[in-house]
């Protein structure tokens, strides 16, 4: 059976830029999102309505949303940690909200200053409000394979978090390898358990690429399990400020190239992703890790 067409979620403007030491100007963020919007990508996480003290890099997300040139057929989403974040996000006219928790307690405390149970309590009114407004929503589960503080995270730590989110009506899960350490073996171990509980269409995988295994992981999930949802960040930049040692997300241009080369039906133009990457690279003060940012395609 041919695996389904991949569905890519671009997280570069959020996950990619949230950990950059140098401040990226607002106009560059807007131009980055606009170029990504014209690449064939259908969903772009364009910012985060989190505490500006926690992540100053995302403090101007409301202005990013106000200034982007929204393309029809493209969904512009944002991270929302609580009701306050949702209010700000609704004012900014987001097209989709993303709540976020974790499978390891220590990471969750460091990242959002509460336990996993408390974070899910905080999401309840956010999920209810999004539901009432018919606003699409996803929930991230970070550290679903490894935690920067607790080490290996077994699938049986992820399952209860998945169950609680699904019980609240969450229909889309993004399962995070926050520190980019998972291998195909770990991906199989989790999917063997997870896909007995949730439909494969509900699952997105969010691989950081610290150890260079993200593309192998994504192709394993797609080929062997029929998972079609993948998050990635153009240029492969970023990481989480509360996950020490985490590399950037797998680069979108590398992932798209890998899927196309493996025979997937892909509607995203890799050259346009390269253009978006070159634009943002000028503002970072360092080279981007993606392979395809260094290759001229013919
Ligand atoms: P807290 O300190 O526990 O919350 O932070 P609080 O309610 O006591 O508020 C503290 C201050 O923040 C107050 O301001 C609030 O008004 C303000 P003060 O009185 O001190 O001036 N505040 C807000 N301001 C703006 N927007 C808001 C908001 N909420 C409170 N929404 C909180 C809890 C969750 C807010 C904080 O810890 C936070 O914002 N954390 C965000 C951390 C973050 O963004 N991490 C990176 C994203 S997650 C990630 O990268 C992983 C992922 O990519 C998947 C993966 O790779 O695994 C998704
Ligand atoms: Mg991430």
pTM (whole model) above 0.95: yes
How many angstroms does the Cα of residue 113 sit away from the middle of ligand 1? Answer: 8
Looking at the annotation, which residues are catalytic? 240
Q: With contact defined as beta carbons under 8 Å apart, do 292 and 260 qualify? A: no
Alpha-helical segments (H) within the chain = 26-37, 61-67, 83-91, 105-112, 116-132, 155-167, 184-194, 214-225, 252-261, 270-281
Please give the distance, rounded to the nearest whole angstrom, from the Cα atom of residue 177 to the centre of ligand 2.
8
What's the pLDDT tens digit per position in 75-129? 999 999 999 999 999 999 999 999 999 999 999 999 999 999 999 999 999 999 9
Helix (H, G, I), strand (E, B) or coil at 27: helix
For residue range 129-185, list pLDDT tens digits in order.
999 999 999 999 999 999 999 999 999 999 999 999 999 999 999 999 999 999 999
The CA-atom distances, in angstroms, between 232 and each of 10, 192, 207, 249 are 5, 23, 7, 6
Query: For residue range 3-41, what is the model confidence (pLDDT) as tens digits?
Result: 899 999 999 999 999 999 998 999 999 999 999 999 999
Cα gap 113→50, rounded to integer Å: 12
Instruction: Report which of 90, 8, 9, 76 is spatially closest to residue 47, judged by C-alpha positions.
Output: 76
How many angstroms is it from 27 CA to the middle of ligand 1? 24
Domain at 7-294, CATH class: alpha beta
> Are 77 and 11 within 8 A, CB to CB?
no
Nearest CA to ligand 1 atom 8: 113
Report the chain's C-alpha Rg in angstroms: 17
Q: Which residues pair with 249 in a beta bridge?
A: 208
CB atoms within 10 A of CB 185: 10
- Ligand 1 atom 12: the closest Cα is on which residue? 51
With beta carbons less than 8 A apart as the criterion, state whether 17 and 233 touch.
no
* Dihedrals phi, psi of 92, to nearest 5 degrees: -80, 0
Q: Long-range contacts: 111-120, Cβ < 8 Å, 24+?
A: 111/142, 111/240, 111/242, 111/243, 112/81, 116/161, 120/161, 120/164, 120/165, 120/168
- Does any ligand 1 atom lie closer than 6 A to the CB of residue 176? yes
Take residue 297 and report the two structure tokens written for it. Answer: 């395609």
State the pLDDT confidence band at 47, using cuts at 50, 70 and 90. very high
Ligand 1 pocket test: pick from 50, 149, 249 the residue with the most ligand atoms within 8 Å of its Cβ: 50
Ligand number with the minimum distance to the CA of 248: 2
Render pLDDT for 237-274 as a digit per residue (tens, 0 to 9): 988 899 998 999 999 999 999 999 999 999 999 999 99
- Ligand 1 close to Cβ of residue 178 (< 6 A): yes
Going by C-alpha positions, the residue among 208, 282, 281, 204 that lies closest to residue 239 is 208
Distance CA 93, CA 81 (A): 16
């Amino acid at each position: 059976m041919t695996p389904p067409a991949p569905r890519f979620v671009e997280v570069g403007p959020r996950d990619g830029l949230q950990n950059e030491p140098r401040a990226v100007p607002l106009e560059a963020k807007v131009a980055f999102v606009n170029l990504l919007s014209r690449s064939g990508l259908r969903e772009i996480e364009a910012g985060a309505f989190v505490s500006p003290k926690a992540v100053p890099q995302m403090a101007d997300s409301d202005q990013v949303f106000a200034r982007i040139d929204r393309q029809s057929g493209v969904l512009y989403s944002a991270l929302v940690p609580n009701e306050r974040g949702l209010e700000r996000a609704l004012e900014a006219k987001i097209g989709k909200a993303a709540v976020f928790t974790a499978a390891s307690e220590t990471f969750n405390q460091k990242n959002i200053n509460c336990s996993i149970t408390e974070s899910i309590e905080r999401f309840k009114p956010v999920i209810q409000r999004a539901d009432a407004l018919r606003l699409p929503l996803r929930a991230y589960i970070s550290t679903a394979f490894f935690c920067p503080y607790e080490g290996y995270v077994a699938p049986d730590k992820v399952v209860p978090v998945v169950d609680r989110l699904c019980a609240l009506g969450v229909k889309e899960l993004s399962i995070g390898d926050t520190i980019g350490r998972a291998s195909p073996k770990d991906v199989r171990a989790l999917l063997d358990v997870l896909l007995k509980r949730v439909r494969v269409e509900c699952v997105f995988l969010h691989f950081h690429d610290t150890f260079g295994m993200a593309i192998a992981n994504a192709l394993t999930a797609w080929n062997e399990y029929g998972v079609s949802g993948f998050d990635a960040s153009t240029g492969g930049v970023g990481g989480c400020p509360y996950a020490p040692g985490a590399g950037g997300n797998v680069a979108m241009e590398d992932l798209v190239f890998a899927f196309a080369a493996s025979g997937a039906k892909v509607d995203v133009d890799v050259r346009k992703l390269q253009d978006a990457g070159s634009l943002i690279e000028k503002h970072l003060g360092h080279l981007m890790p993606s392979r395809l940012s260094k290759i001229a395609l013919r």
